[in-house]
């Protein structure tokens, strides 16, 4: 077969990508991990992670990312800061085109480009992210035991996570810009029956309020009357959807659902020699723990593919 630059290229340096890289290094594969920013991905935005196994006292997202990176580098994984602009994944040789105009070839690719939560874009949202503003109730609900929080959104995820939050918080406001939820009827019924949940209809958030301690409140506006209001609370969960980081992906070459890549249980995509793991794949739950497991499986599958095809 033709010469290539690397046996394996991993695109994305979050928990899934770093785990895949760790396994590639231990397997002594000629592997390269490409990450457009610093290794760690979205996990670095998490102020504190309480639900990752092995850290009984919890760990900051930054510290976890640094430890994962150091462990992968211990096995001589090559990590390069570069932005992939497009890919050609058809055939035995895959080509990745970089933003600087260069290109790289390889036999196998693991896509771990992740996803990002949709943001509202209001004052205070960015400033208090990780200090009261969250995009994952499954991740952060236990921090709000006995407190008051707001959920912004009206779809299945928002309403389901509002219900999840009531296991910890004393009061959960659901702020929705319409007068009816988009969640399925069965989910709505559970939420309406929960006396810890109050619905604020026809309303949008206009500013996250806070001080040195973190979030203290939320400014609101009724979209029908323009009447302003404020609620006091300790946390704001923005749950208005998640977008895949798919700009560089050849979606016409991969089976996907609105940019989220379909895989089988061994992380094979629809394209031979191409694997995917982490938040970029089509799934219900996006957690650090399952991203790590998927990165492991993706690399083992890639190693098996390379052995069978070289």
Please, are residues 142 and 120 in contact by the beta-carbon 8 Å criterion? no
**What digits encode the pLDDT tens for the residues 77-131?**
999 999 999 999 999 999 999 999 999 999 999 999 999 889 999 999 999 998 9
205 occurs within a structural domain: yes
CA distance linking residue 149 with residue 192, whole number of Å: 17
Please, are residues 164 and 187 in contact by the beta-carbon 8 Å criterion? no
**What digits encode the pLDDT tens for the residues 211-222?**
999 999 999 999
Q: Residues 111, 251: one domain?
A: yes
Q: Residues 251, 183: one domain?
A: no
**What integer pLDDT is reported at residue 284 of this predicted model?**
85
Q: Residues 55, 108: one domain?
A: yes
99 occurs within a structural domain: yes
φ/ψ of residue 153, rounded to 5: 140, 165
Q: Residues 172, 261: one domain?
A: no
Q: Residues 156, 171: one domain?
A: yes
- Mark which of 238, 256, 276 sits at the end of a domain: 238
Q: Residues 276, 294: one domain?
A: yes
User: Which of 247, 206, 210, 241 is CA-nearest to residue 85?
Assistant: 247
With a cut of 50, say whether residue 1 has pLDDT above it. Answer: no
Q: Residues 205, 135: one domain?
A: yes
Q: How confident is the model at residue 202 (pLDDT cuts 50, 70, 90)?
A: very high
Angle at 140 between CA 134 and CA 144, to 5 degrees: 100
Say which CATH number the domain at 249 has: 3.50.50.60
- Mark which of 238, 259, 293 sits at the end of a domain: 238
Q: How confident is the model at residue 147 (pLDDT cuts 50, 70, 90)?
A: very high
**What integer pLDDT is reported at residue 169 of this predicted model?**
96
Q: Which residues are catalytic?
A: 136, 139-140
Q: How confident is the model at residue 133 (pLDDT cuts 50, 70, 90)?
A: very high
- Mark which of 181, 203, 238 sits at the end of a domain: 238
Please, are residues 287 and 309 in contact by the beta-carbon 8 Å criterion? no
| Range of the structural domain that residue 43 is part of | 6-116+242-309
134 occurs within a structural domain: yes
1 occurs within a structural domain: no
**For the chain, what is the domain count?**
2
Q: Residues 94, 83: one domain?
A: yes
142 occurs within a structural domain: yes
With a cut of 60, say whether residue 153 has pLDDT above it. Answer: yes
What is the pLDDT averaged over residues 187-209? 97
φ/ψ of residue 109, rounded to 5: -130, 140
Q: Residues 247, 234: one domain?
A: no
User: Which of 156, 245, 149, 127 is CA-nearest to residue 197?
Assistant: 149
Q: Residues 224, 86: one domain?
A: no
Query: Residues 6 or more apart from 286 whose CB is under 8 A from it?
Result: 115, 136, 242, 279
Q: Residues 100, 67: one domain?
A: yes
Q: How confident is the model at residue 271 (pLDDT cuts 50, 70, 90)?
A: very high
């Amino acid at each position: 077969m033709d010469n290539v630059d690397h046996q394996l290229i991993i695109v994305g340096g979050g928990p899934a990508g770093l785990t895949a890289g760790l396994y590639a290094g231990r397997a002594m594969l000629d592997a390269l991990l490409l990450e457009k920013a610093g290794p760690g991905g979205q996990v670095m935005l998490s102020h504190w992670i309480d639900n990752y196994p092995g850290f009984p006292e919890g760990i900051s997202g930054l510290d976890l990312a640094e430890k994962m990176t150091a462990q992968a580098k211990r096995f001589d994984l090559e990590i390069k800061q570069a932005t992939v602009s497009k890919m050609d994944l058809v055939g035995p040789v895959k080509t990745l085109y970089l933003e600087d105009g260069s290109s790289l070839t390889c036999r196998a690719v693991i896509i771990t480009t992740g996803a990002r939560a949709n943001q509202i874009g209001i004052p205070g949202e960015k400033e208090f992210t990780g200090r009261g503003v969250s995009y994952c109730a499954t991740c952060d609900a236990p921090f709000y035991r006995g407190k008051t929080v707001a959920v912004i959104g009206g779809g299945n995820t928002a309403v389901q996570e509002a219900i999840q939050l009531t296991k910890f918080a004393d009061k959960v406001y659901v702020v929705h810009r319409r007068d009816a939820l988009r969640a399925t009827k069965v989910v709505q019924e559970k939420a309406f029956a929960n006396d810890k949940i109050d619905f604020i209809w026809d309303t949008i958030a206009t500013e996250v309020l806070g001080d040195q301690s973190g979030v203290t409140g939320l400014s609101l506006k009724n979209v029908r009357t323009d009447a302003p209001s404020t609620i006091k609370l300790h946390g704001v969960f923005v749950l208005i959807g998640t977008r895949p980081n798919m700009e560089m992906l050849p979606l016409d070459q991969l089976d996907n659902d609105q940019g989220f890549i379909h895989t089988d249980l061994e992380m094979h995509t629809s394209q031979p020699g191409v694997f995917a793991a982490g938040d970029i794949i089509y799934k219900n739950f996006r957690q650090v723990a399952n991203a790590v497991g998927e990165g492991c499986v993706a690399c083992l599958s890639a190693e098996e593919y390379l052995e069978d095809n070289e």
